[in-house]
Amino acid sequence: MAEIEAVLFDMDGVLCDSEPFICEAAIKMFNDVHGVEVKEEDFLPFVGTGEDRYLGGVAEQYGVSLQMPEDKVKTYDIYLEIIKGRLPALPGVIDFIEAGRKAGLKLAVNSAADRMKVEGNLREIGVSADQFDAVVTGSDITHKKPHPEGYLTAAEKVGIDPAKCLVVEDAINGIQAGCAAGAMCLGLSTSFEPEKLADAGAAYTGPHLAEVPAELQEKLGLSL
């Protein structure tokens, strides 16, 4: 019997690399709506925290008073146009999901992004929400990462003890959330260096889901 019975995926930086596109959309929103030129690096501390904080943190730095949720919806509208034909699944995602289903693992998505963005991402990368046993978004919870609420909710929805779940994350905040939920964490180095992910609590690291450590594959009952 596999040591891990469920895999809980973050989305951005795990299933797809949407960070450059949401950053591009946010920069355009700040410029179009508020007439303020912000920089890519301004957003880095807020990666993985959900768009309220992602936009709000940068707004605070520039003394901008956001109009929410209007500014967030505007950002998403720009984003959904930007990603058309430009957002593939990251390496290994399709094969990992298929192998996980065949192995009888429960699979869930837990993204800090709102449902509007999550559904748009899944649609663009060609993965159906029906391939997961649960999809938890920032619209479904009160406390965003690094709070564990999202991963605790995902584990509850798939009916598996968090201690028997693997959280797959790319962000420091996400790893901290997974660890706080009591899950084992795999950190993918699409946004942060492996050492920083390990320091945050990741038990395993890798570049993407096409290169999962053999020891972890054994715990999952997979052979990729």
At 159-169, the pLDDT tens digits run 999 999 999 99
Among candidate residues 86, 74, 92, 72, the one with its CA nearest the CA of residue 19: 86
Ordered domains of the chain (ranges, CATH): 6-17+89-220 (3.40.50.1000), 19-82 (1.10.150)
pLDDT the model gives residue 2: 60
- Angle at the Cα of 155 from the Cα atoms of 132 and 203, rounded to 5 degrees: 100
What's the token pair of residue 205?
């690291």
pLDDT the model gives residue 47: 80
DSSP string, 104-144: T-EEEEE-SS-HHHHHHHHHHHT--GGGSSEEE-GGG-SS-
**Which residues are marked as active site?**
10, 12
Give yes or no for residue 223 having a pLDDT over 60.
yes
Is the alpha carbon torsion for 23, 29, 34, 54 positive or negative? negative
Strands 184-188 and 204-206: parallel
Distances (CA, A) of 43 to 12, 50, 143, 145, 169: 14, 11, 19, 15, 18
Task: Grade residue 210 by pLDDT with cuts at 50, 70 and 90.
Answer: very high
pLDDT the model gives residue 112: 85
Per residue in 30-52, pLDDT tens? 999 999 999 999 999 888 777 88
| Length of the chain counted residue by residue | 224
Burial of 59 (0-12, 13-18, 19+ CB in 10 A): buried
190: Cβ contacts below 8 Å, ≥ 6 apart: 13, 14, 17, 19, 90, 170, 207, 208
The percentage of residues in the chain with a pLDDT greater than 90, rounded to a whole number, is 86
Residues 126-153 have a mean pLDDT of 94
Per residue in 48-72, pLDDT tens? 777 889 999 999 999 999 999 999 9
pLDDT the model gives residue 116: 87
Decide: helix, strand or coil at residue 224: coil
pLDDT the model gives residue 191: 86
pTM: 0.87
Measured CA to CA, the distance from residue 217 to residue 86 in angstroms comes to 30
Mean pLDDT of the chain: 94
Measured CA to CA, the distance from residue 55 to residue 144 in angstroms comes to 14
